[in-house]
Chains A and B, each alone.
Chain A
């Protein structure tokens, strides 16, 4: 079945540590790929997106993500996290060539720092 999977419901690291949030997709064609973040009591904000070209895309606030066709993945990374990065992160896809604008989301990964 076509799906977007974020295998980690929660991720916790220490301040200054690196972060990787995983996202895998299952579609016959390569979708357009997105990462969104939701800070407490705010709407979703787009961090970055991948349509084509360089598989490593840079986003806001030091985030980057790498597309891997062989692994059907689009993992999000940050070299050094800060308290302000605590949020829920959503991976999402859109299928090109379908005439549809809908986004399909993963369940989200809640990221927090070890106090």
Chain B
């Protein structure tokens, strides 16, 4: 079936540095999402993105976070600067249509584990 790819599966970075998490969504999808899961806690919504714009974001989506999809390629989450509390697994997801439709399905990647030292 359709796949969302997140590479690498693990990134280690020093606190204060910038990191960009990459997501290769399903090729014809139009809506993109990031979720964050801290170890031992539930996955939480960060942001969704459509047509070049952030449509909705949560309180977890700090000012240090930004998202973009340049030239229709990777959907990225950038954190600048990183903080210790940013250590988590970040999951990307995509959907073809507005996922509010009952017929629509959200496809998730396998996540990137970010470790901030």
Identify the A interface with B (CB < 8 A). 4, 32, 36, 41-46, 49, 51, 90, 94, 100-108
* B18 in the interface (beta carbon within 8 A): no
Contacts of B28-80 to chain A: CB distance below 8 A? 31, 33, 35, 40-45, 48, 55-56, 58
Is A106 in contact with B56, judged by CB distance below 8 angstroms? no
From B35, B41, B109, A107 is in contact (CB under 8 Å) with B41
A102–B42 CA distance with the chains assembled, in angstroms: 14
Instruction: Please classify how large the interface on chain B is, using the bins under 10, 10 to 19, 20 to 34, 35 or more.
Output: 20 to 34
Per DSSP, chain B at the interface is loop
Separation in Å of the B53 CB from the closest CB of chain A? 14
Separation in Å of the A54 CB from the closest CB of chain B? 14
Separation in Å of the A4 CB from the closest CB of chain B? 7
From B9, B42, B105, A4 is in contact (CB under 8 Å) with B42
A106–B33 CA distance with the chains assembled, in angstroms: 18
Q: List 14 A-B contacts (CB under 8 A).
A: A43-B3, A43-B107, A43-B108, A43-B109, A43-B110, A43-B111, A44-B93, A90-B42, A101-B99, A101-B100, A102-B58, A103-B35, A103-B45, A107-B42
Contacts of A104 in B (CB 8 A): 42, 44-45
Known contacts being A43-B3, A46-B105, A101-B56, is A90 close to B110, with CB within 8 Å? no
Separation in Å of the A10 CB from the closest CB of chain B? 13
Separation in Å of the B78 CB from the closest CB of chain A? 21
Is B42 in contact with A106, judged by CB distance below 8 angstroms? yes
From A32, A42, A90, A101, B43 is in contact (CB under 8 Å) with A90
Contacts of A107 in B (CB 8 A): 40-42
